[in-house]
Structure 1
Amino acid sequence: MTDATMNITHKDKTSPSYTDNHTISTQHGITRFPDNYSGPICVLLSSTDEKNLEKLNPVKLGKVLTKSFKGIINIKFISTKRLKITLDIVHNANLFLNSSHHSENGLSASIPSTLLFSLGVIRLDINVTETDFWDSLECSTEILSFRRINTKRDNQLVPSPFVELNFLSTSLPKFLSIYKVLFDVSPSVRSPVQCAICLRFGHTQKFCRSKERYGHCGLAYHNASLCPEKYTFPPICILYNLNHLSTDRSCVEWTIQKDIKKIMAVNNISYSEAAAIKRSGVVNSAFSYAQVTNNYTLIRTIILIMLKISLMLIMLKILTMLIMYSQPVLIL
C-alpha cells in the first residue's frame, strides 16, 4: 500500500490521535485479557519517563519483578524503554497489568496489540459515507475503527477507495457486508518506515536515539548544506555501501522492508518478529516458497551488479589519479 494519511473515526464518534497498530495499548479500554483467552500470554512493560530500562541491572530488575508478581516465565528486552514479559496464566497476567506498582515506579503495562487486534482493508467507493458504513454493517468480528485512506496527487490529499478497519480479533474475517453487499477483507500492508535522522528502518525520528546522518554520504553530524562530498563524490548508501542515496527506493533494503511489512500484516506480528522471519528466509503465509527463493536470487544478483559497478568506479578513480599525478621519467 502506498504512503497514506488516515482520518480516524470510532464508533463512539470520537477522534483520538493516530496510533500504529503495533503500539496500541489501552486506547479502546482493554486493560485485561478475556477469561477465555487461549493465545500467548505476553505483557509489555514500558518506561513512562526519560530513563532507559537497559541502564538498570537486568538481574536486579528480574529479581524485583519475580518477587512482586507470580507466574512470570521469562523477561526479554525488546527496546531501550520496553520489556516483553511472558506469564503462565491469564489470571496472573491481569494482576500484572492492573498493578499500581508500575505507575509508582514510572512504568506502564499493556497488552501487545497483535494479541487483540488486526488491521484489514476493504475497497469502498468514496461516495459511501462512514455513517452508511456503521448503520448497515454486518460482520462476524467487532470493528473498532474506520479510517478512510487518503493519497497524494499533485501535492493534494484526496480520498482513496480504500478503508482501513481495526478488528477486535487476531485474525481477519474473510468478508463483511454493507447493505447486504459483500466486501472482501485483506490484510492492511503499510509502507516501510525510514528514520529521517539515522536513515535506518523500523522507527521514526521521534524515537531515534542515533546520530544524524546525511543521505548522500552517510556521514554523521551534518546535513545537505554542510556535506563536503555532495558535489564531488557519488552518493553512498549507508546500508549496502553502494552508489545510491540511502533514501532511494530502488535500494535492496527498501524491497526487504516492504516484505517485512507484508509479513507483519499477514501474520499479525510485530516488526521485530517479522524482520527475523524475513532475514532467516523462512517460508511463511505471506510468501510462497517460490517467491522466497526468487526474491533472494534477485537480491543477490542486484547486489553483485552494484558491487561490480562500484569496483569499476573505484578503479576508474584510481586510474584518473595516477594519470593526473604521474610525471614523465627522464632517462639520461
Structure 2
Amino acid sequence: MMMPGGRRPSTRRGGPGDPLYGGDMYGMPGDPTMRRRASTNEVYWEFAADMIVPREDLSQRDKPLLFWVFDDTSEPGKTYQYRLRLGVFNPVAGTGQVAERDLDKKDQVILWSPYSDVTKPVEIPQRIYLFAKEVQEKTKTATVEVARYALGYWRSENFLVRLGEAIGKEVEPKREDDKTKSKARMAAGYPDLGLPDRITDVRSLMGQGGMPGALGPMGPDQQNLPKKVDYRTGKVLVDLVQVNDWGNAPNLRPRLYYNMLYTEDGMRIEHMPVNAANWPKDLTAAYQYVQAEKRREPQTFRAFSKSGLRGRGMGGPDGMDGYDDYGLYDDMGAYDGGGMYPY
C-alpha cells in the first residue's frame, strides 16, 4: 500500500539505483545510510580527482605531482638503480613569443627538469634456476634440476645431461591420469561419453561466460597448468671436474666433490658445486624458496570483487565467483550487480 503522493520505485534498467547510472556509487534510493557500494569504478573517480586538466595552474597544487615510470627493458635476476628527469614540449619554441625572463629557452623544443636523486636498488626476481644435484661417474652425466616460474607458480623438472648437451628443454607438465579424468567425467554426467543421456544441470555443459560448446570451465589445476613448460636455460654442460678443498668456516674440513662447468655464450665458463651439501648459501636459500613455493595449492583465477559474492540471478559459472552468467563483473552494469534480469 502506498501513501498519497508516493511513487513506486522504478525497476526498469536505467532507473534510479541502476548501476549503469551511478546507483552503485551513490547508494540506492531509500537507503538511510547512502553508503557507496564497493566498486572498481572508485578507481576512476579517484584518478579523475588527481588528473591534470588543460590550462590548470600547477603552482596552485598543494601536493607534489606523482609520476609512474615503467622500465620494459629490465631482465630477471638483475638489480637496477634509476635517476629520472622529465621533459615537456615547448609549444612556443622558435616563435619569438617567449617572455623576457625565459629568453634562454626560446629555441629549446624540450624543456628538461633536473635529474632526481638515485633510487634505491630495485631487484628483479629470477624466473629460472638450475641446481646441480648428482653426478653419474661411469657415464659422465649430471642430474640438474631446472626450476621455472610459469603462470604464477614455480615448477621444476630433473634433467640427465651429458657433456656438450644443453641444460633443460620444453616439457609437458604432468596431468591427471586417464582414470582420474574418467571418474570426473562420469561425475559430471556427460552424454557424449557413453553415460546416461539425462542432463540434470544444463550449466554443466556451458563454457566460460555461459557460452555453449565447452565441457564447463576449467578447474583450478587446469587453469594454472600451461601446455608446455619451457625449461630451456640457454646453457650447455662443458665438464664435470673433481675438486678437493676445504669446507667453509666454521667447518674447516676437507671436501671432495664435483664442480659442474657450463657456459651460455661459449666464452665465459660458469661453475656450480654438485650436491646440496656443497652449494653456497644463496643457492641453498633459492632452492628452499622454490621448493616451498611448489607446494602452494593452485588457486582459481578470481574476479575483481571485494565481496567475493555473486549478485542476484543464477550466479556465475562454477569457479567464476564475482561474475554473472554473461561474464561480467559485479559492477559492470548488470542488474543490481549481477544477473542480467531480476526475478
> Same fold per TM (> 0.5)?
no
Q: TM-score normalised by the shorter chain: which range applies?
A: under 0.3
What TM-score does the superposition give when structure 1 sets the normalisation length? 0.20
Which structure's CA Rg is the greater one?
A: 2
Name the structure with the higher helix share. 1
